[in-house]
Amino acid sequence: MTIPLRIGFIPLVDAAALIVAADKGFTAAEGLDVTLVREVSWSNVRDKLNIGLFDAAHLLAPVAIASSLGLGHVKVPIVAPFNLGLNGNAITVSPALYADLMDEIDGDRFDPMATSRALARVVAKRRARGAEPLIFGMTFPFSTHNYQLRFWMAAGGVDPDEDVQLVVLPPPYMVDSLANGHVDAFCVGAPWNSIAVDLGIGHILHFVADILLSAVEKVLAVRQNWSEKHPDVVAALVRAHLRAAEFIEDPQNRSEVAHILAQPERIGVDASVVQRTLDGRLKIAPDGAMRESRRYLLVGREAAARPDPAQAAWLYAQMVRWGQAPFKPDALKAAMAVFRPDLYDAASGRSAGPANPIGAFAGPPFDSNDVPGHLAAFKIGRWKP
């Protein structure tokens, strides 16, 4: 007897483990009959998971936390027993903004502090001549993309709520918005940064790994009450996805994985773009310049799939910093409880390995035991102690 499951996803490369687990038969081997449902927006995925139209979902890590805390929407407790990816985002800017930043930069163009300070100078000059604020696209208010953009900007003295405009766009719409001049830049997951570069309309300014060494990106999310009713199914999902993650991380399988993900009903882009993402070797400029990083997207290696409550604490801290939530010790505890390494460990039969440090490029090391103390170190933000 197989168990039917509907799982929602957004067409992004960090859905790789989800897609490969289903399409390579790893979920079927666990007795699960999985139907993957492609969606456009994160609000659709969240809402369908929350009301039970989806049994599980490829979900932004902060959305799982926000849903569990009742921030920005109805309160539906979510648990995440598996990370679908660490990192994988990038900041892409228009050719015009890239030229302005390079005119103002003092230092290495791959140094996020140098580019954020250059952005501050560009913003100041635009204000002096009465130009409209720069517009940056991100995928959702409760998203890593929002927090990564804000963290980068604020480090150089740009207030993301006062000096620029941040707008929400579904990932597949980012490229057209840049092409049409509706935004000057965006932060999104692969493959959409690469698509913009390939079309000649964008420069990848930063990989998120420049900003945060390890940033949990998407999780396999299920409703807490559903997980408690179906613990064996949750364990089966973890095992199938762990097998998929290991398959993806084997370089010999990369071409096959890229072609699986490239299918029209999955991500629907050229397989070569997907493979560049998985290999961490991306074209970053229309002139063909390439950049390589082993940390561009981690799917299974370096214990990337194991949920880390400290990562949830960092995301909650960003919600507090930017005025999306007040700081409450009980809420911090609840946020950390969304990430369930215990479920991962029990299903995988593996002992806990070393955690991936967040490793932000600016500010003090993050301490989940002292979120107010950590936030007090930053000059720009909406939270006041």
Q: What is the pLDDT of residues 9-48, one digit of tens each?
A: 999 999 999 999 999 999 999 999 999 999 988 999 999 9
373 Cβ contact list (under 8 Å, min separation 6): 367
Asked whether residue 143 is assigned to any structural domain, the reply reads no
CA distances (Å), origin 372, targets 154, 313, 339: 18, 12, 21
Whether 60 has a pLDDT exceeding 90, the answer reads yes
Q: What is the mean pLDDT of the chain?
A: 96
Determine the average pLDDT of the residues in 158-175. Answer: 95
CA angle 333, 48, 86 (to 5 degrees): 50
What pLDDT score does 40 carry? 87
Could you give the 3-state DSSP secondary structure of residue 224?
helix
pLDDT, average across residues 310-316:
97
Q: What is the CATH number of the domain that holds 33?
A: 3.40.190.10
339: confidence class by pLDDT, cuts 50, 70, 90? very high
Count structural domains, the chain.
1
How many other CB atoms are found less than 10 A from the CB of residue 60?
A: 27
Q: Is 126 contained in some domain?
A: no
325 occurs within a structural domain: yes
Nearest C-alpha neighbor of 54 from the set 172, 226, 169, 171: 226
pLDDT at residue 351, as a whole number: 72
Structure pTM?
0.96
Q: Does some domain include residue 326? A: yes
pLDDT given for residue 164 in this prediction: 98
pLDDT of residue 142: 96
Q: Does 76 fall in a domain?
A: yes
- In this prediction, residue 354 has a pLDDT band, given cuts at 50, 70 and 90, of low
CA distances (Å), origin 244, targets 71, 149, 200, 237, 279: 32, 30, 33, 10, 16
Tell the residue number behind the tokens 């490229």, with chain if given: 175
Helix (H) or strand (E) holding 208: helix 208-211
Question: Cis bond leading into 191, ω under 30°?
Answer: yes
Tell me the residue range of the domain where 27 lies.
3-86+216-268+300-306+320-352
C-beta of residue 284 within 8 angstroms of C-beta of residue 48: no
pLDDT of residue 171: 87
Instruction: Compute the distance between CA of residue 64 and CA of residue 266 in angstroms, rounded to an integer.
Output: 23
Please check whether residue 385 lies inside any domain of the structure.
no
Helix/strand/coil (H, E, C) string of 259-327? HHHHCCCCCCCCHHHHHHHHHCEEECCCCCCEEECCCCEECCHHHCCCCCHHHHHHHHHHHHHCCCCCC
pLDDT of residue 172: 86
pLDDT per position as a tens digit, 279-308: 999 999 999 999 999 999 999 998 999 999
How high is the pLDDT of residue 366?
95
Q: What single DSSP character describes residue 364? A: S
**Token pair in block for residue 264:** 């029209």
In a domain, 234, yes or no: yes
Cα gap 27→31, rounded to integer Å: 7
Q: Which residues of 105-137 are buried (b: 16+ CB within 10 A; e: fewer)?
A: beeeeebbbbbbbbbbbbbeebeeeeeeebbbb
Burial of 224 (0-12, 13-18, 19+ CB in 10 A): middle
**Is 80 exceeded by the pLDDT of residue 352?**
no
In this structure, is residue 24 part of a structural domain?
Answer: yes
Q: What is the average per-residue pLDDT within 115-126?
A: 98
